[in-house]
Amino acid sequence: MPYRQAVSQVFLHKLNEIRTIFERQTNYHFYASSLLFVYDGQFCRDHDETNGLGQNGCHDTDVAMVTAAGGDIADVRMIDFTHVIAGQGAVDQNYRQGLQGVIGHLQACLK
């Protein structure tokens, strides 16, 4: 699995953690918020240079390192909380639906 796919797997894991929170969270509803995707692009290059792999990209052995590093290599954060209202005890179905859409698109890219 190439490095970008391993990073995408970390993104999916983080998105599923957020989804799990929003399946139970009823205090707030979020409108027009964003998700920030970050990853360490230098990680692959540094590892390749250390192992003499040059500019060919990370190989399968690097996937375990990316997975083990997890949040140190890639992360997803919720940002832009300008439009938050009281949830009044209801689950935010709109946010959950949007999050599921992002998860679905990322899964489709991995196929």
pLDDT (tens digit, 9 = 90+) per residue, 32-83?
999 999 988 777 666 554 554 444 455 554 556 655 655 577 899 999 988 9
The model's pTM is 0.78
* DSSP state letters, 35-79: EEEEE-HHHHHHHHHHTT-TTS---THHHHHHHHHGGGTEEEEEE
pLDDT (tens digit, 9 = 90+) per residue, 14-24?
999 999 999 99
43 contacts: CB under 8 Å, gap ≥ 6: 3, 66, 69, 73
Place of tokens 């909380």: 81
Could you tell me which CATH class the domain 3-110 is placed in?
Answer: alpha beta
pLDDT (tens digit, 9 = 90+) per residue, 79-111?
998 899 999 999 999 999 999 999 999 999 888
Residue 40 near residue 94, CB atoms below 8 Å = no
What does the pLDDT read at residue 47?
57
| Strand, coil or helix: 34 | strand
Instruction: Give CA–CA dist 64/70, Å, rounded.
Output: 10
Residue, of 39 and 1, whose pLDDT is higher: 39
Spell out the domain ranges in the chain.
3-110
